[in-house]
Each structure stands twice: as C-alpha cells, then as structure tokens.
Amino acid sequence: MVLLKALIVFSAMFLITIGLGLMITPVLAAEPYFSATPSITKNSDSSITANFIAAALGKKVANITFSSDAAADIQCVNPGGNGPAPKKVEFSQIQNQSVNLKPENGKIKESLTVGPPTFPSASAICPNGNWSTKIISLTYENPSLQIQRKNSDILKFNFENITQ
C-alpha cells in the first residue's frame, strides 16, 4: 500500500513537472535578415543606389552604411580630338554619409547612394592642361551594405562589382 501511494505521488510530481516544462517555453528573438536580396540601381549621374529591406531588427536605432571602392578608365583628349590610351584611375573607398535609422515594426526599408567619385582634372592626368577628359568606364568595386549597432555588424551584404 505504501508503495502504491509513493508511485501515485511520484507520477503526479512527474506529470506536474512535464506540464510546467511545456508551459514555460523560451521566447527566442529572430535573427536579423534581408527580406529579399538587396539590389543595386545604376543612376544617370554615374552613382549607384543600394535598395534593401531588413527585418527582425527590433526597436533600437541601427547605423547603415553603403560603401565601395571605384576605378575608372579616363581618356585624355587633345584639342584635335586625339589622345593616348586611356588611363586607369583608382579611387579610395567612397561612401555615402552613414545614416542612423529606427526600425518600424522591426523593419527598415531604405535606399542609399554612393558616388560618383571626384574625377581628376585634365591638368592632373593629361600631358597638357588644354586637354579634356572623357570617362570611358567606371567600376564600383566591392560595394558593401552594412547594418550595425554599437559598431558591430548585425547584417552585411557584399554586391558584385558594378560597371557604368
């Protein structure tokens, strides 16, 4: 009889423990993510714009930066319309002004623009100051979109090189 009572008490305690364990489930925060693959738009002024929607960001302000290196092939042209082979000009990292945004319902939908870089004057790269320059091509190298909090990345997307 004592054994039966002990078994009943043990069974009841076991069921209560299991029941409490099922009722107390941890609330897990979703990891931030891009709702769709971010895209780049080429603009008529030779700049580029990153378009994106980030989700599961919570309520705290995030710092967003879109940056890229760039290189251009620039043709020097003399007053007669002729010139030597184009020169490759490298630009150090160019970036838009970083923005701080507060998510709405955990999301940020934004478009950020970089460029165009400041091209050198004809007198800086051509044999004669009377010459002019013509941009043959402009390539944005390693464009990157970063979303940070407290200087730590919470989301990052690296784009392919973009040639204008």
Q: Is 11 helix (H, G, I), strand (E, B) or coil?
A: helix
Q: Which domains does the chain have, with CATH numbers?
A: 30-163 (2.60.40)
User: Could you give the CA distance from residue 164 to residue 3 in angstroms, rounded to a whole number?
Assistant: 84
- List pLDDT tens digits, range 37-74: 999 999 999 999 999 999 999 999 999 999 999 999 99
The predicted model scores a pTM of 0.77
Measured over the CA atoms of residue 57, residue 63, residue 64 and residue 66, the dihedral's sign is: negative
Q: Which pLDDT tens digit goes with each residue over 123-146?
A: 999 998 899 999 999 999 999 999
Task: Spell out where 3-127 has E strands.
Answer: 33-34, 39-42, 48-55, 62-77, 87-95, 99-101, 108-114
Phi, psi of 93 (to 5 degrees): -50, 130
DSSP state of 51: E
